[in-house]
Amino acid sequence: MPRVKINPVDASKPFDMPTMDVSGISRKWLDVDYTPNKPHPSRKLDVYLPETGDGPFPALICIHGGAFWGGAKNDFQAAPYMEALDEGFAVISAEQRLCNQLPDGSYNPEGVFPNPIFDFKAAIRFLRANAAKYKLDPDRFATTGGSAGGYHAVMAAATADVDAMYDASLGWADVSGKVQAVFDWFGVGDLVVQSEFTEHTPGMKLPDGTEFKMANYADVFLGVNARENTNLAYFASPETWITKGLPPVLIQHGIADEVVPIECSRRIAAKIEEICGKDCVVLEQFEGFTHGDAGFNTPENIKRVINWLKEKLL
């Protein structure tokens, strides 16, 4: 990532995510409001273009992870995708409403399902409606994300123009939300499986050695206990929405993932193969890789992912 640097994070704030320094990218639009008819501080995106060429460029539309309550469009999670700029892709990093913890200890109800997925799909429609302005090819869109972002990447593709999963009030109601490829990095899947896994996962060690037990973010995102509300959890789980016509999907997941169980990706991949055929999905399982393992970001793996995207979009 020659043009992107990672800013140092304050060691006294272990939950702050490092941010990107994108000053080395010359062609970009930052903090674009993708629902200008209904502004919200969390509905913003950044557009980055290759250094040369007039386009229209295929678009890699990224959404960050962060357990549905954290992360931002300019944090380090978007940095690996920036390699695609050198391969002729535009890269867009979006953010959406989060169920972040409020001062009173409760969680922001604005970020509860389905609001964040409504936001991300509005971002896709905005980009298609404004493709000429940003030099994008509206027929070559791919979604991508890791962890909670992987959930949104798959959900956006699977529910693209489904009325029940669409908020027309956010704008661009007459524009399709379809995408042509999906890359999912260790994404959240079945919310009951995720809720059960998180409930029984030991606390994590922070840099100062203290143990932190993560709240059950599947339940926080759903707004209720997923294990006790299985019908709603089923409605909110990506594999429920898999139908014929889904674009090709590449999934990568670590077998030793301690945050999102690999079973989530296995179930999604199995459902895609069952409904759409085995040529529609590739599931790559990495022995020993934990959540967000550095091995995912090796030059060899990033090149492999970009080559797959080029095969589908170029």
pLDDT of 40 above 80: yes
Strand 136-146 to strand 57-63: parallel, antiparallel, or no bridges (unpaired)? parallel
Strand 44-48 to strand 90-94: parallel, antiparallel, or no bridges (unpaired)? antiparallel
Dihedral of alpha carbons 54, 297, 263, 214, sign: negative
Q: Where are the domains of the chain?
A: 5-313
User: In this structure, what token pair is assigned to residue 103?
Assistant: 């001062």
pLDDT, position 38: 96
Cα(131)–Cα(134) distance, integer angstroms: 5
Cα(149)–Cα(145) distance, integer angstroms: 4
In this prediction, residues 43-51 reach a mean pLDDT of: 98
Write down the CATH superfamily of domain 5-313. Alpha/Beta hydrolase fold, catalytic domain (3.40.50.1820)
Cα(53)–Cα(173) distance, integer angstroms: 31
pLDDT, position 207: 57
Contacts of 133 (CB under 8 A, 6+ apart): none
Cβ contact 197:258 at 8 Å: no
Cα(72)–Cα(77) distance, integer angstroms: 9
User: In this structure, what token pair is assigned to residue 271?
Assistant: 């459902």
User: In this structure, what token pair is assigned to residue 25?
Assistant: 């990218």
Strand 211-212 to strand 204-205: parallel, antiparallel, or no bridges (unpaired)? antiparallel
Q: What is the mean pLDDT of the chain?
A: 93
User: Cis ω on the peptide bond leading into residue 114 (within 30° of 0)?
Assistant: yes
pLDDT, position 7: 87
Strand 181-185 to strand 249-254: parallel, antiparallel, or no bridges (unpaired)? parallel
195-206 pLDDT, tens digit each? 999 998 876 665
CA angle 301, 266, 114 (to 5 degrees): 95
pLDDT of 9 above 90: no
pLDDT, position 242: 97
pLDDT of 11 above 80: no
User: In this structure, what token pair is assigned to residue 254?
Assistant: 């670590």
- What one-letter code names the amino acid at 173? A
User: Strand pairing partners for 211?
Assistant: 205
A 10 A CB-CB count for 9 gives 15
Cβ contact 236:114 at 8 Å: yes
pLDDT, position 30: 98
Alpha carbon 37 to chain centroid distance? 24
User: How crowded is the C-beta side of 220, counted as CA atoms within 13 Å?
Assistant: 22
206-263 pLDDT, tens digit each? 556 666 667 899 999 999 999 999 999 999 999 999 999 999 999 999 999 999 999 9
55-78 pLDDT, tens digit each? 999 999 999 999 999 999 999 999
- In 3D, which of 238, 257, 302, 252 has the Cα closest to residue 281? 252
pLDDT of 37 above 90: yes
pLDDT, position 13: 60
- In 3D, which of 146, 114, 98, 107 has the Cα closest to residue 302? 146
pLDDT, position 220: 96
pLDDT, position 1: 46
In this prediction, residues 76-100 reach a mean pLDDT of: 96
Cβ contact 62:43 at 8 Å: no
DSSP reduced 3-state for 94: strand
